[in-house]
């Protein structure tokens, strides 16, 4: 019999119940016992939901109060010293302290999980690092499910991936950086111990996730795989080794050679890899990831059946499992709960619960059950989607097809533009500006909510926003900033705001996906050809501009970021969808220029996170991503200044692409790493102007004038001083006014000190760059 399996279920709850509970616990209004009970209730509900959907191999230990990588860190007792010693087990307060920090212990770093928008807590390693089994969560949750009559397959993050995701915080002997893989021998006995305990508890299979298998592995990682799985093979339960987010490719032989009983393949991202496996043969149980765990479209069941049938013919039904491509953590919970989408759109979609039903239908078909009615309904829905006039706009397609290289080029090269912009903008040396948003106070958020609920009229809301904008401009003038912004008070989110005004976009009411910890995002859906029926931001920017004699910078979100933070249609290449968005932004840019705005910022904080997992795919991606930015920004005159902004940044390896954007000014997040990130710009001899962030906006702390001067002097050692701007790291929407006022006062004072000649360059120390999740709170 073919088995219907799942790799992981979203844990936040269809109505974000976990968020509510965890935040109440943090506030002190829910006790630890109450939080534990809510966790158990959600787990029970999720297990039962999966069983009712027809899944027989149901995961456990996919639940987490914060993050599964942090759970693994706790399991292995790798708690950094600053969070106190671990007694028998890591306590819940200790666990949350690692994730969120305390007054005296900064939180552990956080970064993106592969190419998703989920953030994990980065394991930290120091010299003399020790490990000890410090949590029995996987065993406890297995037993908890068993008590409910559900036999689960526990999920663990595998040792090689866990170590590879970690970061050494100290150098080892000599000056070489500690290699996290050196700790493999120390953690394997703990994994073995845990697997033995799971076997003793009754687990016959364990899913062990090793997503690094779809990345370019170093020889050391390859060796680590061999020794790790040799050590774990005999530990107890059978292992289902799960790869996902891409193809095993050159790591296929490695994966097949490991002594594990099963192998999971992502056949949505990399359908071609099955052919290789069919040709090679294997005696492992194969889990075929045929239902997209990363997107919200209904599966083409007819098409998914073909590879599944080929696999069954070759290996026999008993060796095949059908599953989503990866954990369903990355999609919303239940489409049936959704009220915001019309019936037609709904019929094209599948969220986690619906995806499991698809897995069950595929499995039943393979097992000979008569599923003709379900398959026919699926085929009809997909045919209707393909033919729907709502997704095809011939004008948009024609315009996109007609884009030429000339459309991607500014009229003149940077030096000529620079002179024209200097004459028009008349900015002082070391010009000061901000990244766009200003504090979204309780009043701003309340007014938005009231407007949405119909409690205040359009006119009242508009008047409120105008007052906020005007006040913000008055404040910027009083502070002495040079290039002003309108403050973005009308925007809820930097992607949603644009999506709501573009055609081809839809929004859900409950389509929440965990971003990190208790933070969830609701990515919009791009279902059709994208165009801009009318100007989106011109009114606000023009209004702001009319209030001041100082130059105003208009704010847009770039095409790559809009794409990256949405659920994207799967019926055409992402590059094509991105080009359509770029054309819409291009129209907005042209209208802003016509309205007299002398500077336009096009934010691309997500440019880097779109990088493919394999190096060899980078150039293709960067090629179209850069083209889309240029397409959006190129139509303006020489004297209109194009800015861009990036914040989640490790630029070293993509400098040529950043330079190829050809923005006149780029602002980047650099203050946390003490300007370390800026070295990439210096080494590359970045040709245009740069605003290295001098105020880390992730915390309310107000940086002193001296501190910012020192940062800028360091910046001046890598970037010629006449090309330096002075600005915060990112937008200020999550900050309060008191620290904003104080920090910007200091920022302006720092710029003035530099203008008075305090620019003796200070060298940039070879420090450690610390990319973090963007602190703007926009995503
Ligand atoms: N303009 C945006 C803001 O200031 C930029 C946010 C971001 O980079 N993520 O909020
Ligand atoms: Zn930013």
Backbone phi and psi for residue 239, each to the nearest 5 degrees, phi listed first: -105, 130
Protein residue whose Cα sits closest to atom 10 of ligand 1: 731
Q: What is the spatial distance between Cα 456 and Cα 458, in angstroms, rounded to a whole number?
A: 7
Among residues 354, 369, 387, the one where a domain terminates is: 387
SS3 561: helix
Place of tokens 């950086």: 177
pLDDT value of position 175: 55
What pTM, to 2 d.p., does this model score? 0.94
Q: Could you tell me if 364 and 472 lie in one domain?
A: no
Secondary structure in 3-state letters for 328-367: HHHCCCCHHHCCCCCHHHHCCECCHHHHHHHHHHHHHHHC
Give Cβ neighbours of residue 139 (< 8 Å, ≥ 6 apart).
154, 194, 197, 198, 201
173 in a structural domain: yes
R_g over Cα of the chain = 27
Q: Could you tell me if 562 and 677 lie in one domain?
A: yes
- For the record, the structure tokens of 237 come out as 């339960």
Q: What is the CATH number of the domain that holds 606?
A: 3.20.20.210
Give Cβ neighbours of residue 544 (< 8 Å, ≥ 6 apart).
469, 473, 484, 485, 486, 487, 552
403 in a structural domain: no
Cα distances (angstroms) measured from residue 299 to each of 115, 198, 320, 340, 649: 21, 34, 19, 21, 34
42 in a structural domain: yes
Q: Could you tell me if 366 and 482 lie in one domain?
A: no
Backbone phi and psi for residue 551, each to the nearest 5 degrees, phi listed first: -65, 145
Q: What is the spatial distance between Cα 102 and Cα 777, in angstroms, rounded to a whole number?
A: 20
Q: What is the spatial distance between Cα 654 and Cα 489, in angstroms, rounded to a whole number?
A: 32
Atom of ligand 1 nearest to the CA of 646: 8
Say how many Å lie between the CA of residue 494 and the centre of ligand 1. 7
Q: Could you tell me if 348 and 435 lie in one domain?
A: no
Cα distances (angstroms) measured from residue 711 to each of 687, 728, 730, 758, 769: 20, 12, 16, 12, 14
Protein residue whose Cα sits closest to atom 6 of ligand 1: 731
Q: Could you tell me if 482 and 370 lie in one domain?
A: no
Q: What is the spatial distance between Cα 601 and Cα 555, in angstroms, rounded to a whole number?
A: 5
pLDDT value of position 771: 42
- For the record, the structure tokens of 629 come out as 């930015």
pLDDT value of position 173: 54
415 in a structural domain: no
Of the candidates 627, 502, 607, the residue with the CA atom closest to the CA atom of residue 561: 607
Task: Tell how strand 58-60 and strand 152-157 pair up.
Answer: parallel
Say how many Å lie between the CA of residue 714 and the centre of ligand 2. 21
Q: Could you tell me if 294 and 185 lie in one domain?
A: yes
Q: Could you tell me if 343 and 257 lie in one domain?
A: yes
**Of 489, 493, 730, best ligand 1 pocket probe by most atoms within 8 Å of the beta carbon:** 730
Query: Is residue 322 within 8 Å of residue 362, measured between CB atoms?
Result: yes
424 in a structural domain: no
Q: What is the spatial distance between Cα 210 and Cα 226, in angstroms, rounded to a whole number?
A: 13
Cα distances (angstroms) measured from residue 586 to each of 407, 430, 581, 634: 10, 29, 9, 8
Q: Could you tell me if 291 and 435 lie in one domain?
A: no
Domain that holds residue 204: 3-387
Give Cβ neighbours of residue 312 (< 8 Å, ≥ 6 apart).
2, 320, 366
Q: Could you tell me if 28 and 168 lie in one domain?
A: yes
Of 330, 643, 698, 779, the catalytic one is 698
Cα distances (angstroms) measured from residue 44 to each of 48, 58, 59, 60, 147: 6, 12, 12, 10, 10
Q: Could you tell me if 365 and 435 lie in one domain?
A: no
Report whether residue 638 contacts ligand 1, using a CB cutoff of 6 Å: no
Q: Could you tell me if 233 and 334 lie in one domain?
A: yes
SS3 264: strand
Strand locations in 635-703 (E) = 641-646, 665-668, 689-692
pLDDT value of position 109: 87
Query: Is residue 230 within 8 Å of residue 259, measured between CB atoms?
Result: yes
Q: Could you tell me if 582 and 713 lie in one domain?
A: yes
Say how many Å lie between the CA of residue 157 and the centre of ligand 1. 33
pLDDT value of position 172: 55
457 in a structural domain: no
Catalytic (active site) residue 698: yes
Total domains, the chain: 2
404 in a structural domain: no
Of the candidates 641, 602, 604, the residue with the CA atom closest to the CA atom of residue 622: 604
Report whether residue 735 contacts ligand 1, using a CB cutoff of 6 Å: no
393 in a structural domain: no
CB count in 10 Å sphere of residue 646: 25
User: Which of the residues in the chain have pLDDT under 70?
Assistant: 170-176, 648-649, 764-779
Q: What is the spatial distance between Cα 542 and Cα 698, in angstroms, rounded to a whole number?
A: 30
Report whether residue 554 contacts ligand 1, using a CB cutoff of 6 Å: no
Q: What is the spatial distance between Cα 428 and Cα 724, in angstroms, rounded to a whole number?
A: 11
Task: Tell how strand 167-168 and strand 205-209 pair up.
Answer: unpaired
């Amino acid at each position: 019999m073919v088995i219907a399996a799942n790799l992981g279920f979203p844990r936040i709850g269809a109505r974000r119940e976990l968020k509510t509970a965890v935040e109440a616990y943090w506030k002190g209004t829910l006790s630890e016992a109450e939080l534990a009970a809510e966790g158990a209730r959600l787990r029970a509900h999720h297990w039962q939901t999966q069983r009712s959907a027809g899944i027989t191999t149901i995961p456990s230990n996919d639940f987490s109060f914060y993050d599964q990588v942090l759970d693994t860190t706790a399991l292995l007792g790798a708690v950094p010293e600053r969070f106190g010693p671990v007694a028998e087990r890591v306590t819940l307060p200790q666990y949350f302290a690692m994730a969120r920090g305390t007054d005296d212990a900064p939180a552990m770093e956080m970064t993106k999980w592969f190419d998703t928008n989920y953030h994990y807590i980065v394991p930290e390693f120091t010299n003399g690092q020790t490990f000890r089994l410090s949590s029995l969560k996987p065993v406890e949750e297995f037993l908890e499910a068993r008590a409910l009559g559900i036999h689960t397959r526990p999920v663990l993050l595998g040792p090689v991936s866990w170590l590879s995701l970690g970061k050494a915080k100290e150098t080892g002997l000599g000056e070489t950086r500690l290699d996290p893989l050196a700790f493999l021998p120390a953690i394997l006995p703990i994994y073995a111990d845990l697997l033995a305990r799971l076997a003793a508890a009754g687990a016959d299979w364990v899913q062990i996730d090793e997503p690094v298998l779809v990345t370019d592995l170093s020889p050391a990682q390859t060796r680590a795989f061999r020794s790790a799985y040799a050590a774990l093979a005999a530990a107890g339960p059978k292992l289902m080794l799960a790869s996902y987010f891409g193809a095993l490719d050159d790591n296929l032989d490695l994966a097949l050679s490991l002594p594990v009983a099963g192998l999971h393949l992502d056949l949505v991202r990399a359908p071609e890899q099955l052919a290789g496996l069919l040709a090679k043969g294997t005696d492992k149980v194969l889990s075929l990831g045929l239902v997209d765990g990363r997107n919200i479209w209904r599966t083409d069941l007819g098409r998914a059946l073909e590879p599944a049938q080929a696999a069954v013919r070759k290996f026999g039904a008993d060796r095949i499992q059908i599953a989503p491509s990866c954990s369903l953590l990355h999609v919303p919970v239940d489409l049936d709960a959704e009220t915001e989408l019309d019936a037609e759109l709904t019929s094209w979609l599948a969220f986690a619960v619906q995806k499991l039903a698809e897995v069950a239908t595929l499995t039943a078909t393979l097992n000979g059950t008569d599923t003709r009615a379900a398959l026919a309904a699926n085929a009809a829905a997909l045919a209707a989607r393909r033919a729907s006039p709502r997704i095809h706009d011939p004008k948009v397609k024609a315009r996109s097809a007609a884009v030429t290289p000339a459309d991607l080029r500014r009229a003149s090269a940077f030096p000529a533009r620079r002179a024209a912009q200097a004459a028009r903008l008349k900015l002082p040396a070391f010009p000061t500006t901000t990244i766009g948003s200003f504090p979204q106070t309780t009043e701003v958020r309340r007014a938005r909510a009231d407007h949405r609920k119909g409690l205040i009229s359009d006119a009242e809301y508009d008047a409120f926003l105008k007052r906020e904008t005007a006040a913000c401009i008055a404040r910027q003038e009083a502070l002495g900033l040079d290039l002003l912004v309108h403050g973005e008070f009308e925007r809820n989110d930097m992607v949603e705001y644009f999506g709501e005004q573009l055609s081809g976009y839809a929004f859900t009411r409950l389509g929440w996906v965990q971003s990190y910890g208790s933070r969830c995002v609701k990515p919009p859906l791009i279902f059709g050809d994208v165009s801009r029926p009318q100007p989106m931001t011109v009114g606000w920017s023009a209004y702001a501009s009319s209030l001041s004699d100082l130059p105003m910078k208009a704010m847009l979100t770039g095409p790559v970021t809009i794409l990256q933070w949405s659920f994207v249609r799967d019926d055409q290449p992402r590059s094509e969808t991105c080009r359509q968005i770029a054309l819409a932004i291009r129209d907005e840019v042209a209208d802003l220029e016509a309205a007299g705005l002398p500077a336009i910022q096009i934010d691309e904080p997500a440019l880097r996170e779109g990088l493919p997992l394999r190096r060899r795919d980078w150039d293709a991606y960067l090629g179209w991503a850069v083209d889309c930015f240029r397409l959006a920004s190129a139509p303006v005159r020489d004297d209109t200044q194009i800015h861009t902004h990036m914040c989640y940044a490790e630029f070293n390896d993509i400098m040529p692409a950043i330079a190829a954007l050809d923005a006149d000014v780029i602002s980047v997040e650099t203050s946390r790493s003490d300007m370390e990130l800026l070295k990439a710009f210096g080494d590359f001899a970045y040709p245009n102007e740069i605003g290295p962030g001098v105020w880390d906006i992730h915390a309310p702390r107000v940086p002193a004038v001296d501190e910012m001067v020192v940062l800028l002097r360091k910046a001046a050692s890598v970037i010629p001083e006449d090309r330096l701007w002075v600005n915060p790291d990112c937008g200020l929407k999550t900050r309060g006014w008191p620290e904003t006022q104080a920090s910007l006062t200091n920022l302006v004072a720092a710029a003035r000190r530099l203008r008075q000649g305090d620019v003796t360059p200070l060298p940039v120390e070879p420090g450690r760059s610390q990319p973090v999740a963007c602190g703007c709170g926009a995503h």
